[in-house]
Amino acid sequence: MSMETWLAFFAACWVISLSPGAGAIASMSSGLQYGFWRGYWNALGLQLGLIVQIAIIAAGVGAILAASATAFQVIKWFGVAYLVYLAYRQWRALPMDMSEESAVRPIGKPLSLVFRGFLVNVSNPKALVFMLAVLPQFINPHQPLLAQYVAITVTMISVDMLVMAGYTGLASKVLRLLRTPKQQKRLNRTFAGLFIGAATFLATLRRAPL
């Protein structure tokens, strides 16, 4: 993986991780209930689920890309369309109920939070489809795939751990400031714009030459 490709993927990781989703909601819920240090165990579980999803993608997508330029274009434009769809859903999203009364019951042990975070990611088909649409854009099928997927995994997990720390800390300290429907609507539309930006970026990518 070239430095230019890695930097592009690094930037994409921030957009992907910062965009609200099941993982972000789980992190905010954990921070709200247990505080930062205890609630952050949830983030470890999220990363374990992420590793499983990347492994699933790495097992088959590289061969498809190497065999067919058409497949690359189909996956790329599917990714663009999916990002636009997520932008639409984010724009239309209703405010979330983040009140303490709506939170789930406290969990006794840190390993229970790890397992809950793992289930959030590993059982989320939308997250798997999202990565299937995005990750191949940064893979050169004519270079060793293992090293590229290792770099992708380490980068994505490192960024996501930092972002989930921010969501967990935000919830544990100042989440009450973002509870009004008007504030949440503004936040949703901001992230809808980020999805459109990511879709535009993907549309400009080209397959590595043979």
Instruction: Encode pLDDT of 153-163 as tens digits.
Output: 899 899 989 99
Q: What's the CA gap between 143 and 63, in Å, rounded?
A: 12
Please, are residues 166 and 98 in contact by the beta-carbon 8 Å criterion?
A: no
Residue of 7, 135, 8, 149 lying closest to 78 (CA atoms) = 135
pLDDT at 107: 52
Residue 67 predicted with pLDDT over 70: no
> Which residues neighbour 19 within 8 Å (Cβ) at sequence distance 6 or greater?
86, 90, 191, 194, 195
Question: What number of residues does the chain have?
Answer: 210
Could you tell me the two tokens for 130?
A: 């999202």
Condensed to tens digits (0 to 9), the pLDDT of residues 72-119 reads 677 678 777 877 887 787 788 666 555 544 444 455 577 888 888 888
CB contact at 8 A, 152 and 105: no
Name the amino acid, one letter, at 60.
Answer: G
Is the predicted pLDDT of residue 2 greater than 60, yes or no? Answer: yes
Among the listed residues 113, 117, 110, 116, the one whose alpha carbon sits nearest the alpha carbon of residue 46: 117
Task: Give φ, ψ of 95 to 5 degrees.
Answer: -55, 145
Instruction: Return all residues near 73 (Cβ < 8 A) that are at least 6 apart.
Output: 207
Residues 122-128 have a mean pLDDT of 64
Q: Which of 120, 164, 131, 159 is closest to 22 using CA atoms?
A: 120
- Round to whole Å and give the CA distance between 32 and 39: 8
For residue 170, give the nearest of 65, 39, 28, 13 by alpha carbon.
Answer: 28
Tokens, residue 75 = 């996956």
> Residues 133, 75: contact at Cβ < 8 Å?
yes
At 70, list the tokens. 């058409």
pLDDT band at 173 (very low <50, low <70, confident <90, very high): confident
Q: How much is the pLDDT for 117?
A: 81
CB 76, CB 202: distance < 8 Å: yes
